[in-house]
Each structure stands twice: as structure tokens, then as C-alpha cells.
Structure 1
Amino acid sequence: MVAIARILVRRVALLVPLMLGIVLFVFLVMRFSDSDPASAYFQGANPTEQQLHDFRERNGLLDPLPVRYVDFVGDLLRGDMGISVLTRAPVVDQVTTALPLTMQLTFMGLGIAVVLALIGGVTAAIYRDRLPDQLIRVVSLTGVAAPGFWLALLMIQYLAVDRGWFPTGGYINPADSFSGWLNTMTLPAFALSLPVAAQLTRIVRTAVVEELDKDYVRTAIGSGLPPVVVVGRNVLRNALINPLTVLGLRVGYLLGGAVVIETIFSLPGMGKLMIDAVKNGDPAVVQGVVLTTAFGFVIVNLVIDILYLLVNPRLRGAA
């Protein structure tokens, strides 16, 4: 436990420079972009040059770049992401409103991807080079090649428009109706998860096949243990170490893919918030959404690292 705690302390300490680097990158990209908060603030009002200058001076836009960066970091530490130049509302309030939906979509998609990958990967490994393995291989390769937005459009056409099993878009809060929430989230979650599930299926299949070929598996089955017990208790625990690492990277894809999926299904999450901000020229909101998404990705990968330590005794012993 002391070794694990020492590793965790080091990982958490590394988060500080990593997050500062993310903040610096986003800050520089937004400052050197063509977006002008002053022009966006007076959009449609034909402001004079003096009004634009006063706005920039009042909001510190004329300060030297290092000063602006220090102020920016200080504001973030206080939980201040700025003010939307269009709605005049704090960006943190808009992010707080949109973030729960994106997290629901991301983790629902993650859960679906993990379940499908475990079922498909383990089945393909057990029946390797036979018909189930061949069928799963074709389906997984098709899923890897198919982009998420294309799958989303197909699902809307065949499952929502033609058959009416699901709504074509919109969102219902689970507090108002859980069945309505599940109905509105099912298609977006599946459209988001299928490419990830297809990739993980191939990785799980390879890992389980390698584990099944080891001597301890043949010894355990030869001694009379049921194959189901051997696979469930020993093979999966050892085989899922590498897929778990890949899963942490796929969370970034899910967060990024949620931007497109939310736009297609008209879900008021972080993706739609950012798309609307880009179209309307609201840099503070774009900045807030990007930073929140990046921080979420970093934190999720930290959690994956902790799980990796828990399931990998060799790594704990090396520590």
C-alpha cells in the first residue's frame, strides 16, 4: 500500500505542470486566433473605435501577454472562466449546466462499449478461427471503419424516422422521466460507443487469446476446473490489463465525439454549447468548454492509472 500511495502522489504531482501546460496552450491559441471579444460584445451595434478601445482596456485585453496569462490562471483558480460576450452570463454557469449531460452521454457510451467489447472479444477468443470469431471480426472491422456521425445518421433514419422506436433528438431530464431520459439517450450513446467497442473488441480478443495459450490455463482446466471459472476468475483478470490502458485513451475519443453526436441529436451538452459559441463568435465560452474537456480527460486517465495499479500486481511489486 505504501508503494501504491507513493506512485499516486507522483502521478498527482505531475498533474500540476500538465494542467498548467494545457491552460497555456489554450490561452495562446485563443489569443492568437481571429476572434475578438470586443467585436463580439458589440455585435450588430456598430461600435466606435473608442468604445472598442474602452472595452479592451476595461477587460485587460491591452495588457502584455504574460500579465494576461497570470490573470487568466488566477481567475481559473477562483473558478472564474470569464463572461460570455453574447449572453452576459458567467461561462462557468453555462459549463455547469451543460456538463452533466455530456458526462451522462460519455459514461453511458463507455459502459456500452465495455460490455460489447467484453462479450465480443471473449467470445471471439474462445471460438477463435471458427465462425463466431470470423463474424465478430467482420463486424468489429466495420465498426472501426464507420465514423460515429454516419452511424448516428443511419440510426436516426432507420430506428427513429422509419420505425419510430426512438425520438430523432431532444433531451428529457432523468429527474422528470427516467424512461424518457433513457429513450432520448439510447441512440446517441450507441452511436458514440460503437466505434470504441469495435476497437476494444479486437484488443480484448488478442489479449484473451494470448492468455488462453498459457500453461496455467491448461493446467487449471486439466485439473477439473470448469472453463467458465478459469476464464472468468483468472484469464479475464490477467488479460484485461492492456485493454484497460487503451480504454483510458478512448475516453478522450468519447469526449470529443460527444461534440458531434450532441449536435446531431440536438442535445444541450458541452458539444452543442461549443458549436454555438464558435458560430456566434464567443471565445470565452469556447475556451471554457475546451479547458473543462481537457481537464476531464486528464482526471479520467488518472482514474484509469489507479485501476491499472489495482489489477496489475506485477506493477505494484515493481513499485
Structure 2
Amino acid sequence: MERYVGFSGKRNRCFCCMGKTVVDAEYQEEIEKARRDLRALIFNKTCAPIMLRLAFHDAGTYCKHTQTGGPNGSIRKPEEFEQSCNKGLKVAIDFCEEIKSKHPKISYADIFQLAGVVAVEITGGPTIDFIPGRKDSNECTEEGRLPDLEKGPIHLMDTLKRMVLCYMDFVALSGAHVMDRTQKNRSNFDGPWTDKPLKFDNSYFINLLREYREELVWHEPQALVRREFLNLLIGESDGTSLIPSDRTMMTFDEFRCDVMKYAEIPELFLKEYAQAHKKLSELGFIKKPPFHLYHKMKKNKKSYVLPQTIAGVIIVASIIMVWYRVKEK
């Protein structure tokens, strides 16, 4: 993607447009300081799972039809964090308040999403590209915006379309369950999703295959070989806990194929998770140049078009003149 870089005329203030959000150098410096503080806080408080959940729940309310919700920091408001789907997130919001008090220039929206990025990285997950510049909103969304696996695959597919996410994005993001455990006071279930919580890897998908191995359908010519490979890969039950809603991941081919793919190729899961996480964290987050730079870009574009047009006319005229001279001789 083409990128235009300009300066506002103020010292130490630059704009990166057409693919990078507009933030000044001072704001970017604060982001890096906040990243370091978040790293220390998440490590000391052992709170990576709930910080990632906060980032997901703030961003997951986006609606492309109304252009509302998304990663705008509105989850900090009681009208939103007191919704049943956001039980327990006040703890993470309070942790982020500590960072906000040190870096008041940064928006809550950026702090929440940066916390999610750091939570993944500090537990061994992939590095996720983070672009700052989100604006805070005081407008809270109604309950029911977040994906709810217990409502079945049709609801899930409709929700993903509303959020502008694809099936692969959802499956990859679901792999983040590896960092957490089910909580009795949130889902009425209790137990870890994997035997290594707080370690970011592909074991969530291995556990899914282990739990529902008898329901797998084999269509490939080498089905028996593939099945034996997966049986060797997933092994026997390790006592981890899967909740009924996890079953949705194995209901349709669109989800099940990606589950098997990520279980077999951990490197692919990490790569596609990073892409899906970035996409989720930027839903509705419009990146465009400032007004005066936008017109400067249009003006520059026109200045290139005019000389090219004149040069083309001259070349055509020269060819015609040469052709007539040759014809007269």
C-alpha cells in the first residue's frame, strides 16, 4: 500500500498516512512507555488472560451496518462492563487505570488494545502489529453484540458478518482460550482449557480434536493415514475442561477444517492468529490523512498527471509530422 509522509510544520510532529494512523511523535513515545509498563504489570499481576479478554470484548461489539461499537474504550463505562457477558472485566479495567494515570495522553481505547497485544506476546504468542490513534467513546452498545457460541452456529455466522470477520479469523482467535480457564461465576463451568495455562500455543485445537475425535468425518483418499496421524498427535485425554459451546467449533466444515489445520501446524496458527488479532483490534478504526495533507496528496497527484498528458500529446504530434514528411517524399 502506498504511504505518504508529511510534516505539520510543528517540531517533532509527523503524520504517517495511507496505512498508518495519524499520531504525533510525542503520542508514539508515550505508547512505547505504556507498552513497557503494561509488560511489567501483566507479568507481576499474572493477568494476561483477563487483559486479553478486555481487549476482545471492547473490540467485539463492532457493527458495520451502524458503524458503532468496536475498539473505542466504551467498555470502561458501567453500562457496558456490568453486562452479563463482561463479568469480571472490571478488574482488568482497574489495572488499565494504573497505566492511564501514568500516561494520560493515551486514549483508553488504545490502552485496552495495547494490553491485549502485550498479553499475547508476554505468554509466548506472536508479535502483533499495533497502530495507535483510537478515539474514546462514551456511547455504550447494547448487550448481545458479542459472539455467543451457545446460541449456535447460525448466530455465530451472522455475528461474524456484522463484525466483518471471516470463519478463519474466529477460529484463530478462539485459540487464545489456551491462556485462560473457565470460571464458575462467568460461564457456570470451571476448569482449564489446556494443561498449560498462560502458555500461548495451539493446544486448544488439539484438545478439541481429542474431545470430539469420534465425530470427525474423513473424506480424503488417505483418510486412514491422516486419522492415525491425528490420533498420535492428540493422544489421550489430559483432564482439561471444554464447555458445551466449544462443540460449535466442530459442528461445521468451515470451522472444523481450520481447527485440524491449526492442530497440525502450530506455526500457521501463530501467524494467522496475529493477523486476526490485528484485524479485530482495528474494526471501525478508520485510518486516513489529515484534511490539509489529503488535499496536498490530490494536488501532487494532479501535478503528475498534467505533465504526462502534455508529453503524450507532443509524442503523438511528432509521430504524425514524421509520417506526413515520409509520405510527401
TM-score normalised by length of structure 1: 0.29
Larger Rg: 2
Decide which structure has greater helix share: 1
TM-score normalised by length of structure 2: 0.28
**Which of structures 1 and 2 has the larger relative contact order (alpha carbons within 8 angstroms, sep 6+)?**
1
